[in-house]
Amino acid sequence: VQVSAPEGIIGQADAPPGSIHWLPHWWRAGQKVAETREISLARPFDPQTDTILIGLYDPQTLQRLPIFDERGQLIGDAWGWQP
């Protein structure tokens, strides 16, 4: 999870999804996994300009994994959210 701002990344929390309690190889297609992350920011979050980016990557290659929408269309390698 990263927080992106006009000046670049202002915060990041990097850990395996599900931590050690719910490993990805246990997941099933269509299953939803929710978790909470705390991110220290270099400055206060501005909802007008900042975006929360969520993505996954292969821990061996550090390559980001593709993200697809519900129709199977590639939307990129991170999902952006502006609260």
| Predicted confidence pLDDT, tens digits, the chain (83 residues) | 999 999 999 999 988 777 667 777 788 888 877 788 899 999 999 999 999 999 988 888 989 999 998 899 999 999 898 88
Question: pLDDT at position 39, please?
Answer: 93
Question: pLDDT at position 77, please?
Answer: 93
Question: pLDDT at position 66, please?
Answer: 95
What is the rounded distance in angstroms from the CA atom of residue 34 to the CA atom of residue 60? Answer: 24
Measured over the CA atoms of residue 4, residue 5, residue 9 and residue 15, the dihedral's sign is negative
**Of how many residues is the chain composed?**
83
- 47: Cβ contacts below 8 Å, ≥ 6 apart: 82, 83
Against a cut of 0.85, is the pTM above it? Answer: no
